[in-house]
Chains A and B, each alone.
Chain A
Amino acid sequence: MSGKPRLTYLNGRGRMEPVRWLLAAAGVEFEEIFLETREQYEKLIKDGVLMFQQVPLVEIDGMKMVQTRAILSYIAGKHNLYGKDLKERALIDMYVEGITDLMQMILVFPFSPPEAKAKNIDSIKERATNRYFPVFEKVLKQHGQDFLVGNKFSWADVQLIEAILAVEEKIPAVLSGFPQLQAFKKRMSNMPTIKKFLQPGSPRKPPPDECYVETVLKVFKK
């Protein structure tokens, strides 16, 4: 019994990946339990540990937390990655929510039918380059600081670097035309905790493959 946070999810990115990123960025070690069978999931439900019968589940500080946003907000608050006051928190929340909307498109992508995939990549590219990346490019250009909010590393920076890398996996040249974001990406990738997370052998999960999709469908059998 370690006192480390314990994550319960599938062995893949999904909705848990931002939690892995944030814990890693905060330098917090964690344990993971991977759902592989329907029976494991049904046992969790029967044991009453999933408030809304859903994962992610993170056991942390005596709580069995569900709801990804709640979990992330708690971790950010606990580890001083949530700004210094209400207004900085407001900015971080706005940025994180916008990035989450973009990441949602990537989240559902593996589950789209083969004939829709090309169109979905185009949609992701369109949203990233016309709606989301320009906002953060402008934020960074206007204040000229290293971090998005309050001249200090925060949850918003972690969420943005995660999103940049995820979109680049689909559209490799997506950052051309965004020099601030290119510099941001480099800076964030070199931060010690993030650099460590980006190395092989870290808890970071690979892009979802067919095996992951199959496991999701099998375990949750909707």
Chain B
Amino acid sequence: MAGKPKLYYFDGRGKMESIRWLLAAAGVEFEEEFLETREQYEKLLQDGSLLFQQVPMVEIDGMKMVQTRAILNYIAAKYNLYGKDLKERALIDMYVGGTDDLMGFILIFPFLSAEDKEKQRAFIVEKATSRYFPAYEKVLKDHGQDFLVGKNFSWADVHLLEAILMVEEKKSDVLTGFPQLQAFKARISSIPTIKKFLQPGSQRKPVPDDKYVETVRRVLRAYDNMKAN
């Protein structure tokens, strides 16, 4: 019995990916159980393991935690990635809220029709370059520090790097015009725990493919009719 956190989700990014990123950034090893069949999911339901009948679910410190944000908050605080006081936490929460909204547009992307995917790709790039990236570019420019909040590496940095990389997967040159973010990306990517996570063989999951979409739809019996933003 390891005492390592155990993640219950599909073998793919979805809502669990931010949790994998944060645990990895904190240098915390974790185990994963991948949902592949409806029966597995129904067993979790019957066992009463899923408070609101949903995954992600993370077993950590004797709790069966659900709700992505609750899980992330707990990990961030436990591993000192949540700022030093209430005001730093407020900044981190604001920044994470923004990157969460941005990554939310990407989350639904694999479930869209081919035609809607093109629309959504344009929408993601537009929001990233006109709303989100400028906000973080300004934060970094204004204080000139290496990290977003309080001169210390925090959850906000991890989340922003994750978001940057995801948007780049949709448009590779999207950071043109954002020199602060380019430097930020290089800096944060070279932090040892993150560098390790970005290497092949880590628990980072690849861009979702049709097989992933099919698995989610089959296991949850949902998400058949998603529309672009």
Contacts and interface: CB of A to CB of B under 8 A. Distances in A.
B86 A78 contact: yes
B73 interface: yes
B75 to A, nearest CB: 10
B98 to A, nearest CB: 5
Nearest to B66: A94
B90 interface: yes
B98 A97 contact: no
Contact of A73 (B89, B101, B132, B135): B89
Contacts of B67: 93-94, 97-98
Contact of A93 (B69, B97, B101, B135): B69
Nearest to B74: A90
Contacts of B135: 51-52
A94 B63 CA distance: 11
A116 interface: no
A67 B90 CA distance: 10
Grouping DSSP codes into helix (H, G, I), strand (E, B) and loop, the B interface class, with mixed when no group exceeds half, is: helix
Which of B52, B98, B132 neighbours the largest number of chain A CB atoms within 10 Å of its CB?
Answer: B52
Contact of B69 (A53, A69, A78, A87): A69
B78 interface: yes
B94 A66 contact: yes
Contacts, number: 79
A34 interface: no
A93 B74 contact: yes
Interface residues of A, number: 28
Contact of B51 (A70, A86, A94): A94
Contact of B131 (A53, A67, A94, A98): A53
Which of B61, B63, B70, B96 neighbours the largest number of chain A CB atoms within 10 Å of its CB?
Answer: B70
Given A52-B132, A94-B70, A73 B52 contact: no
A144 B90 CA distance: 33
Nearest to B93: A70
A67 B73 CA distance: 15
A68 B100 CA distance: 13
Contacts of A94: 51, 65-67, 70
Contact of B74 (A63, A86, A132): A86
B145 interface: no
A61 B85 CA distance: 14
B87 A73 contact: no
Given A69-B93, A87-B61, A135-B52, A52 B73 contact: no
A89 B70 CA distance: 8
A63 B73 CA distance: 21
Nearest to A135: B51
A93 B93 CA distance: 13
B90 A89 contact: no
A74 interface: yes
A96 B77 CA distance: 18
A27 B61 CA distance: 34
A110 interface: no
Interface in A77-119: 77-78, 86-87, 89-90, 93-94, 96-98, 101
16 contacts: A51-B94, A51-B135, A63-B90, A66-B97, A67-B93, A74-B86, A77-B89, A89-B77, A90-B63, A93-B70, A93-B74, A94-B65, A98-B51, A98-B66, A101-B52, A132-B52
Closest 9 CB pairs of A and B: A67-B97, A70-B93, A93-B70, A97-B67, A70-B94, A94-B70, A74-B90, A90-B74, A67-B94
